[in-house]
């Protein structure tokens, strides 16, 4: 591991609050132009939880499908949603493709269509760079003006944590020397608790760079530590946590 570049912002964005910021619970329009479908407004099946408001660009996304049935319905830096649909009279079948554009897993991945549909739940875990498919069998009951919503929620899986008994002495200078010996940068005034240690670094491989944040929380009274690793690749977080827990 090596200390991070001068610009620390990218690594700080992987800090303790990142998961909350990255959680996705967005209303994504799931309608296409050919063959309107869904329930009459006000009678759709209630979702399992209150959905987020529709995306600001929802109308623009829907307009792309007025004269076609296939294409990319939604895309941002985390997720791409592709759609392929076919219709016969008042019945339709829609294929939704959810692509994970990151290098980390999406855990607790759920989708909640707000319309009269027959579908199976998606797989709850989407690997980094992978794509999963969901098939929706739909029926148009009556005409409507408001497009149905597709509520999507997931959590990027990046963190590993371990609580363990101290294997060695808890001398401050020894701890600092070990953390610096790892090749990371020791960050001051980052954690509200001055007794904790926070480090940042980058693991370099031929094919990629893995940003890592580390927090070591000592409890001298109980002679215990809590070690938290948050890396841009989940497998690196787990392995580093296992290795470092033996060093303190």
Tens-place pLDDT, residues 40-92: 333 333 334 455 566 667 777 778 888 899 999 888 888 999 999 999 998 99
pLDDT of residue 132: 94
- Encoding tokens for residue 1? 């591991």
- Encoding tokens for residue 155? 């959590």
The sheet that has 79-88: what strands, in order across it? 70-75, 79-88, 91-100, 131-139, 117-119
User: What average pLDDT does the chain have?
Assistant: 78
Tens-place pLDDT, residues 112-153: 887 778 888 888 888 888 999 999 998 888 888 877 888 888
Sign of the CA dihedral running 165, 169, 171, 177: negative
Specify the CATH architecture of the domain 19-157.
Sandwich (2.60)
Break the chain into its structural domains and give their ranges.
Answer: 19-157, 158-245
pLDDT of residue 219: 94
| CA geometry: angle 229, 22, 51, nearest 5 deg | 140
Scanning the chain, the segments in alpha helix (DSSP H) are 9-12, 18-22, 58-63, 172-181, 234-245
Please state which CATH number belongs to domain 158-245: 3.30.310.10
**pLDDT surpasses 80 at 37:** no
Q: How far apart are CA 154 and CA 111, in angstroms?
A: 9
């Amino acid at each position: 591991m090596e200390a991070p570049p001068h610009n620390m912002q990218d690594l700080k964005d992987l800090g303790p609050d990142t998961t909350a910021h990255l959680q996705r619970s967005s209303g994504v329009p799931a309608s296409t132009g050919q063959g309107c479908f869904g329930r009459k407004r006000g009678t759709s099946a209630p979702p399992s939880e209150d959905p987020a408001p529709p995306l600001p660009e929802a109308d623009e996304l829907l307009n792309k499908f007025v004269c076609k049935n296939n294409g990319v319905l939604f895309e941002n830096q985390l997720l791409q949603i592709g759609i392929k649909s076919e219709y016969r009279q008042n019945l339709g079948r829609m294929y939704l493709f959810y692509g994970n554009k990151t290098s980390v897993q999406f855990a607790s991945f759920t989708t909640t269509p707000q319309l009269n549909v027959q579908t199976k739940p998606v797989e709850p875990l989407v690997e980094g760079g992978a794509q999963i498919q969901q098939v929706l069998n739909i029926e148009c009951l009556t005409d409507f003006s408001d497009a149905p919503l597709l509520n999507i929620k997931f959590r990027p899986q990046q963190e590993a944590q371990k609580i363990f008994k101290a294997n060695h002495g808890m001398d401050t200078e020894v701890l600092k020397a070990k953390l610096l010996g790892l090749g990371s940068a020791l960050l001051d005034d980052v954690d509200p608790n001055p007794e904790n240690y926070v480090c940042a670094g980058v693991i370099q491989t031929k094919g990629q760079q893995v940003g890592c944040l580390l927090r070591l929380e000592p409890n001298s009274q109980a002679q215990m530590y809590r070690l938290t690793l948050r890396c841009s690749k989940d497998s690196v977080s787990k392995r580093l946590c296992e290795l470092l827990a033996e060093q303190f």
